[in-house]
Structure 1
Amino acid sequence: MAYALASSFLLLLLGLVTRRLLVYNFGPEITNASQVVEKLFNFFSIAEFGVGSVISYRLYEQIAARDDEKISKYMSMYKWAYRVVGLAIALLALIGAAALPWIMPDVPLQTGYTVYGLNTISTLCSYFLITRRLMYTCTQQGYLCTRIDMVCTVLNYLARIAVSLWWPNYVLYFSVTIVFNVCANLVIAWRYRRDFPRVRDVPVTLADFKELGIFHDLRYYLVHRLSNTIYGSSDTIVTSSMGGATRTTELGNYTGIADSATNIGNKIMDSFAAAIGNIVYDKTATANDHDKQVFWSMDLFSYFFGSFVATAYFCLFQPFMLLWMGEQWLLPTSFLVAFCLNEYVGWNHRMLGSYRAVLGHFEEDQWFMVASATVNLALSFILFPLMGISGALAATVVAHCIMWGGRIRVVFRCYMKGSEAHYLRMQALHLVTLAVCMLGTAAVCSLLPGGIAGLVLRAVVVCLLPNALNLAVYAWGTDAAYLRSYALRILQTRRKQS
């Protein structure tokens, strides 16, 4: 986690520089094409059918049992499944090319198709090379991949900055990303053979997929995959088709920063994901008293993280955007409020989502996912003409809450039995403290001056005040006490190791 955080902050700074150069050196049309095509390929990723998630939660069980034969079988199935997925996405990319003039009406066709083609190559390279990463994730060694990605991503950013400044050619700009993505995956593939010598390529057939129940899980998980994809891509696609290139670029400036910040947050939260999988499958299927204590402590940590992120965006986003991109790129306060609420919902139930992911039982909440996707699309098209981008994002918040409800259903039916009422009471308390944190911190920040000095002062206030308010409310409970003891054990272990 520590390594990932340090590297992610550097990548965040490089990403800010790269985004500004993209907008100002290549213009809204290229920027819009880049954003929309990226979201389109997120949509095409439904062809993955969730095979990675289905195999990963089964892999946790075999890693706990140290069954090398089953591990090798699952990893070989994963590799061959992703090759089929790559071919399916190539086919979807050919079909989807016909929709570009409708989705990007104010982008020249040649520009749109060129960016689209380069993104197709980049995506397909990932699907054919990325499968080795799964073992590192499931064995809590994801930091090894992070190190390799860090080097290649820094080189990628530096190359794109150089292209933007001295050779402003958008084909070259997007091509360097392909080169460094391939290099990172090839290095990880080389290391994988050294780190996991007992995991071998073994023959697999369709009968193996049926025997191990993979097709059964995929049938239900496909609904989750499709709904998640619609949820994650609809804002950009709706904005592009109804609002044009400039509006999409404005949205992308905000979501681009959020994506970089999310990458940092993911490094923190993903550090716990494999441990959660090991906890769930190391004992019985139902949580005992200790497991419940771990769950409530992790859930409180999620709230601390989510409330801090929402407050930081609420108080810092507009001043930062003013300094970074200029006043002409600011979006209204209504958008900012919806954006902060959506971020809070996501981060606040992130640990719950990790438990949900490793439990399986995808049939339990499939209709919540269907409702989430349907509401997101329908409300986006209804609210965008009335409220603009703010309306599209408000629809996303509603859809995200429906998705959250489905995850609550699975975790508290299948693992944390009998605790759902307590969870809902805690979430009600969290909403009250979130409002106090956001409004109280914003009131203090409004007294500070503008400019770079004011932004720095606001950042200091955001780091101190909301966390102090949360500690004043929650620090006295058993969940916070467990978090303190957990952190102390980690520090003691690190001292012994050093």
Structure 2
Amino acid sequence: MRVKKSIRGASVSLILNIITLMVGLISQAIFIKTLGIEYLGINGLFNNIISMLAIVELGIGPAIVYKLYKPLAEKDIESIKALMLFYKKCYNKIAIIVLVIGFIMLPFIKIIVNADIDNNIYFIFMLFIFDASASYIYSYKRSIIQADQNNYIISLVHIGYVITLNLIQILILIYTHNYIIYIIVKIIFRILENLVLSKISDILYPYLKDKNIKNISEDILLDIKKKVKGLIYHKIGGFMVSGTDNIIISKYLGVAYVGLYSNYYMIINAVYILISQIFSAFTASVGNLIVSETREYSYKIYKKIMLLNFWIYSIATSMIYTLIKPFIKLWIGEQFVLPDIVLVMLCINFYMLGMRASIGIYKDASGIFWEDRYIPIIESTINIVASIILVKKIGLVGIFIGTFLSSIIVVFFSLPYYVYRDVFKKNILEYYKVYIKYLLLVLISVLAISIITININFDNEILSFIFNMVISFFIPMIVNIITLNKTDEFIYFKMIVINILKNIKKFEFFNNNKIYNKNR
């Protein structure tokens, strides 16, 4: 059942997020042509600032999802009802707090925005605040769908939201060129999406509508508070690392640079979200796995997920490095291309962030939020200090070097240390051996791709793009197969693929647990 739900969730997320990316690219191109690069910069900058307000959530969501795994597995309806009621009360308060903090920030907006924009800037920011607050209305009911390994339902609703919203926003841009209406429509659809998911959760879990609900027990409340305290640090650190880039760019280089970077960020972040949805589909299954299986078996599954993690990100990193520059030229024009050194750093950061996925699944599913609470603060401090110093000395690339320097502490210390110590009871050197091996393989792939694409050129840009796309996909595949084909993890996935191909006509591979049970 865990395998079936994980594969189904991952498959749906993959397909739907590809559609989301395609719709987003069209919408972004029209946005640039109708409103210009400065409004694109404002859009990216305000999204960054608003992401800071997510700190107010304090990590209550992940803490509640973690606490839902056990009662859902045991069908403890009273505990589920109590947790969901507590979650609802918290999110209603958070929506109000976000509004208040947002309005307090309002007078300081022009200090951050380094551009000549009229006084509508204040009203625009107010709309962003309303959007952030609206995101908490009814959204708490997503958690039970997610914890019950039905994330594909959230994905299906979200894709409907994305496609409909973007189509309407495109029409607004074309016929009105009005950025304010563009944002108002987004707020309306945000509320509608949450309402739809709320109704679906009521249908799937009708007991959520019960009026007779007990308060959560004191021991559960204390455990949630402890995890939330740890997650506060992660929330603050996460924003300071990923949410401050546009603010620093705007302050030191101007909002137009934010617009240029936004195009790269949109593509890279879309790919990251696309892949993350695949791995997030495994989180609830891993949570169920940890509470119901042995530690050794859990570790065996982790190694398989880590191989999958590397395989996907080695290909994705190679393709981004090879294709993003020619793609931007074809998509919106050569004037929007950033220097190659910036692209190199963006790819390095993308790979390092992506390779956290497999170990991060086990960290979140195990509820390790308190133990490493100080790490995000250290990471974010290094990131901001290094980024500000380096942006003054070497420009835009300095900001991303700062992100790289700060990421090292997470990739090579906090994530593997706590998971290997507390979850697997293994020596952390095992993690380093595998990580470094995988890193060398992706470097070999990128080097081989660079040599081939430099020496083979086509006069036709589209033909050249297609050739580069094929090369950047198959080179990592070939390198990985040659070097990893004898590992247990590779053989496991090889047999799954064979099994799927054998049964694809009958659509029976979800029910065939032969390989899965064999590897237990």
Instruction: Give the match for residue 253 of structure 1.
Output: 263
Which one of 257, 262, 272 corresponds to residue 282 of structure 2? Answer: 272
Instruction: Give the match for residue 434 of structure 2.
Output: 426
- 1:283 CA displacement: 3.3
1:72 aligns with 2:81: yes
1:114 aligns with 2:123: yes
The answer (yes or no) to whether the contact 1:64–1:281 under 8 Å persists in 2 is: no
- What amino acid sits opposite 2:310 in the alignment? Y
| Structure-1 separation of matches of 2:72 and 2:500 | 23
The answer (yes or no) to whether the contact 1:223–1:366 under 8 Å persists in 2 is: yes
Q: How does 1:484-495 map to 2 (within 5 A)?
A: 484-487=494-497, 494-495=507-508
- What amino acid sits opposite 2:253 in the alignment? G
Which one of 39, 52, 59 corresponds to residue 61 of structure 2? Answer: 52
Counterpart secondary structure, 1:37: helix
- 1:266 CA displacement: 2.1
| Structure-2 separation of matches of 1:147 and 1:363 | 33
**C-alpha deviations, 1:381-435, integer Å up to 9, x for none?**
0000122121101111122222222111210111121231111011111121111
| Structure-2 separation of matches of 1:469 and 1:207 | 53
- What amino acid sits opposite 2:320 in the alignment? Y
Instruction: Give the match for residue 517 of structure 2.
Output: none
Distance 1:252-1:497 versus aligned 2 partners, 3 A rule? closer
Gaps of 5+ in 2: 1-9, 512-520
Which one of 182, 189, 193 corresponds to residue 198 of structure 2? Answer: 189
The answer (yes or no) to whether the contact 1:42–1:233 under 8 Å persists in 2 is: yes
Which one of 417, 420, 424 corresponds to residue 409 of structure 1? Answer: 417
Using the TM superposition, name which of 231-240 and 105-114 deviates more. Answer: 105-114
1:239 aligns with 2:239: no
| Structure-1 separation of matches of 2:52 and 2:264 | 21
1:344 aligns with 2:354: no
| Structure-1 separation of matches of 2:395 and 2:306 | 34
| Structure-1 separation of matches of 2:174 and 2:214 | 50
The answer (yes or no) to whether the contact 1:152–1:180 under 8 Å persists in 2 is: yes
- What amino acid sits opposite 2:451 in the alignment? A
Gaps of 5+ in 1: none
| Structure-1 separation of matches of 2:184 and 2:145 | 28
The answer (yes or no) to whether the contact 1:448–1:457 under 8 Å persists in 2 is: no
**C-alpha deviations, 1:71-101, integer Å up to 9, x for none?**
1111111111111111111121012212211
The answer (yes or no) to whether the contact 1:126–1:182 under 8 Å persists in 2 is: yes
- What amino acid sits opposite 1:411 in the alignment? V
Instruction: Give the match for residue 89 of structure 1.
Output: 98
- What amino acid sits opposite 1:392 in the alignment? I
Counterpart secondary structure, 1:198: helix
| Structure-1 separation of matches of 2:349 and 2:414 | 16
Using the TM superposition, name which of 85-94 and 5-14 deviates more. Answer: 5-14
- 1:198 CA displacement: 3.0
- 1:200 CA displacement: 4.5
The answer (yes or no) to whether the contact 2:230–2:373 under 8 Å persists in 1 is: yes
Using the TM superposition, name which of 41-50 and 447-456 deviates more. Answer: 447-456
- 1:439 CA displacement: 1.1
- What amino acid sits opposite 2:313 in the alignment? G
- What amino acid sits opposite 1:267 in the alignment? Q
Q: How many residues align?
A: 495
Distance 1:496-1:451 versus aligned 2 partners, 3 A rule? closer
Using the size of structure 2 for normalisation, the TM-score is 0.91
Q: How does 1:138-149 map to 2 (within 5 A)?
A: 138-149=147-158
The answer (yes or no) to whether the contact 1:365–1:409 under 8 Å persists in 2 is: no
| Structure-1 separation of matches of 2:105 and 2:499 | 52
Using the TM superposition, name which of 101-110 and 369-378 deviates more. Answer: 101-110
- 1:6 CA displacement: 2.1
Which one of 25, 50, 71 corresponds to residue 41 of structure 1? Answer: 50
Instruction: Give the match for residue 481 of structure 2.
Output: 471
The answer (yes or no) to whether the contact 1:309–1:343 under 8 Å persists in 2 is: no
Identity fraction in percent:
21
Q: How does 1:203-214 map to 2 (within 5 A)?
A: 203=213, 208=218, 211-214=221-224
Instruction: Give the match for residue 368 of structure 1.
Output: 375
Distance 1:138-1:448 versus aligned 2 partners, 3 A rule? farther
| Structure-1 separation of matches of 2:214 and 2:260 | 48
Using the size of structure 1 for normalisation, the TM-score is 0.95
Which one of 443, 447, 453 corresponds to residue 439 of structure 1? Answer: 447
| Structure-2 separation of matches of 1:488 and 1:279 | 25
Counterpart secondary structure, 2:476: helix
Using the TM superposition, name which of 450-459 and 155-164 deviates more. Answer: 450-459
**C-alpha deviations, 1:29-72, integer Å up to 9, x for none?**
32121111111111111110000011111111222222111111
Instruction: Give the match for residue 224 of structure 1.
Output: 234
Instruction: Give the match for residue 305 of structure 1.
Output: 312
> What is the root-mean-square deviation of aligned Cα atoms in Å?
2.0
The answer (yes or no) to whether the contact 1:230–1:373 under 8 Å persists in 2 is: yes
- 1:152 CA displacement: 2.0
- What amino acid sits opposite 1:361 in the alignment? I
**C-alpha deviations, 1:275-327, integer Å up to 9, x for none?**
1111112235xx12x22211111111111112111111111111111111211
- What amino acid sits opposite 1:89 in the alignment? V
Using the TM superposition, name which of 400-409 and 314-323 deviates more. Answer: 400-409
The answer (yes or no) to whether the contact 1:369–1:406 under 8 Å persists in 2 is: no
